[in-house]
Amino acid sequence: MPFSPPRQLLIACGLVAFLLTVNSLLVAQQSHVAKSKKNMVASVHPLATDAGVAAFEAGGNAIDAAIATALTLGVVDNFNSGIGGGCFILIRTADGKLFAIDGREMAPAAAHRDMFLKDGKPDSSLSQIGPLASGVPGALKAFEAAVKRHGKLRFSQLVRPAAKIAENGFIVDENYASRIRATAKHLAKFPGTKKVLLKPDGSPYRSGERLIQKDLANTYRQIADKGTDWFYNGDFAAQVGAWMKANGGIMTAKDFANYKTVDRKPVVTTYRGHKIIGFPPPSSGGVHVAQILNIVENFDLANYQKSDPNVMRHIVAEAMKLAFADRAYWLGDPDFAKVPRGLIDKQYAKKLAKKIDLNAASIVKSHGTPPRSDTEFFSRHTTHIAAADSAGNWVAITSTVNTTFGSKVIIPGLGVVMNNQMDDFSIAPGTPNAFGLVGAEANAVQPGKRPLSSMSPTIILKDDQPIMTVGAAGGPKIITQVLLATIRRIDFGMSIGDAIGRPRWHHQWSPNRLLIEKGNAKDTIEKLKSMGHKIYVSKSAGVCQGITYDPQTKTFTGAHDPRVPGKAAGQK
- Write out the H or E segment, with its range, that includes residue 122: strand 121-122
Q: In degrees rounded to 5, what are phi and psi of residue 42?
A: -140, 140
- Look up 382 and say whether it is catalytic: yes
| Residue whose C-alpha is closest to residue 560's, from 64, 22, 77, 177 | 77
> How far is the C-alpha of 317 from the C-alpha of 302, rounded, in Å?
16
| Residue whose C-alpha is closest to residue 257's, from 240, 277, 271, 237 | 237
- Among 382, 398, 403, 458, the active-site one is 382
Neighbours of 15 (CB within 10 A): 10
| Residue whose C-alpha is closest to residue 45's, from 175, 225, 157 | 175
3-state secondary structure of 92: strand
| Residue whose C-alpha is closest to residue 477's, from 550, 566, 561, 414 | 561
- Write out the H or E segment, with its range, that includes residue 491: none
Q: Which string of b and e fits 485-503 if b means at least 16 CB within 10 Å?
A: bbbbbbbbebebbbbbbee
Write the DSSP symbol of residue 198.
B
> How far is the C-alpha of 502 from the C-alpha of 561, rounded, in Å?
10
Pair 377, 334: CB distance under 8 Å: yes
3-state secondary structure of 479: helix
Pair 85, 105: CB distance under 8 Å: yes
DSSP letter string over 240-305? HHHHHHHTT----HHHHHT---EEEPPEEEEETTEEEEEPPTTBSHHHHHHHHHHHHTTS-HHHHH
- Write out the H or E segment, with its range, that includes residue 411: none
Q: How open is the CA angle 158-146-223, to the nearest 5 degrees?
A: 45
DSSP letter string over 422-468? GGGSBSSTT---TTS----GGGB--TTPPPPB----EEEEETTEEEE
> How far is the C-alpha of 77 from the C-alpha of 73, rounded, in Å?
5
Write the DSSP symbol of residue 131.
G
Task: Name the residues annotated as catalytic.
Answer: 382
